[in-house]
A and B are shown apart, each in its own frame.
Chain A
Amino acid sequence: MHQNGWLTDAVARVRDDPRAIVRLFAAAGRHCRPEEDARTRLLLALPPETVPHWVDDLYRHGDAAERLAVLTALPSLPLGAEAVPLLHDALRTNDTRLIAAALGPYARHLDQHSWRHAVLKCVFLGVPLENVDHLDERADRELASMIAALHAERAAAGRELPPDARRLLDRIP
Chain B
Amino acid sequence: MRIFDPHIHMTSRTTDDYQRMAEAGVRAVVEPAFWLGQPRTNPGSFTDYFDSLVGWEPFRAAQFGIRHHATIALNPKEANDPRCRPVLDLIPRYLDKDSVVAVGEIGYDAMTPEEDEAFTAQLALAVEYELPALVHTPHRDKARGVTRTLGVVRDSGIDPGRVVIDHLNEVTVGDVHDSGCWMGFSIYPDTKMSPPRMVEILRTHGLDRMLVNSAADWGRSDPLLTRRTGEAMLAAGFGDDDVDRVLWRNPVEFFAQSGRLDLSGKAGTGPLFEGSSILRGGS
Enumerate chain A interface residues (CB-CB to B < 8 A). Answer: 22-23, 26-27, 29-30, 61, 63-67, 93-97, 100, 124-128, 159, 162
Task: Return A101 CB to nearest CB of chain B, in Å.
Answer: 11
B residues bordering A, Cβ < 8 Å? 51, 54-56, 58-59, 93, 96-99, 259-260, 262, 271-272, 274-278, 280, 283
Q: How far is the CA of A97 from the CA of B63 in the complex (A)?
A: 12
Question: How near does chain B come to A7, taking the closest CB pair, in angstroms?
Answer: 16
Give the dominant DSSP class at B's interface: loop
- Contact between A97 and B97 (Cβ–Cβ < 8 Å)? no
B283–A124 contact, CB under 8 A? yes
B276 to chain A, nearest CB (A): 7
Q: B97 near A63 (CB under 8 angstroms)?
A: yes
Question: Is B55's CB under 8 angstroms from A26's CB?
Answer: no
Smallest CB-CB separation from B58: which chain A residue? A64
In the complex, are the beta carbons of A27 and B96 less than 8 A apart? yes
Q: Which residues of A contact B262 (CB under 8 A)?
A: 30
Interface residue SS majority, chain A? helix
Q: Is the CB of A26 within 8 A of B97?
A: yes
Shortest Cβ gap from B223 to chain A (Å): 22
Which residues of A are found within 8 Å of B276, using beta-carbon distances?
A: 96, 125-126
- Select which of A61, A63, A97, A126 is within 8 A of B99 by beta carbon: A63
Residues of B near A63 (CB, < 8 A) are 51, 54-55, 97-99
> Is the beta-carbon distance between B59 and A64 smaller than 8 angstroms?
yes
Asked, given contacts A26-B98, A30-B98, whether A61 binds B93 with beta carbons under 8 Å apart, the answer is yes
A30-B259, A30-B260, A126-B276 given; A95·B97 CB < 8 A = no
Contacts of B272 in A (CB 8 A): 96-97, 100, 126-128
**A65–B56 CB distance below 8 A:** no
Contacts of B55 in A (CB 8 A): 63-64, 67, 95
What are 6 A-to-B residue pairs whose CB atoms are below 8 Å?
A23-B96, A63-B99, A64-B58, A97-B272, A124-B277, A126-B277
* Of A64, A159, A162, most B-chain CB atoms within 10 Å: A64
CB closest chain-B residue, reference A93: B56
| Beta-carbon nearest neighbor of B93 in chain A | A61
CB nearest to A162 among chain B residues: B275
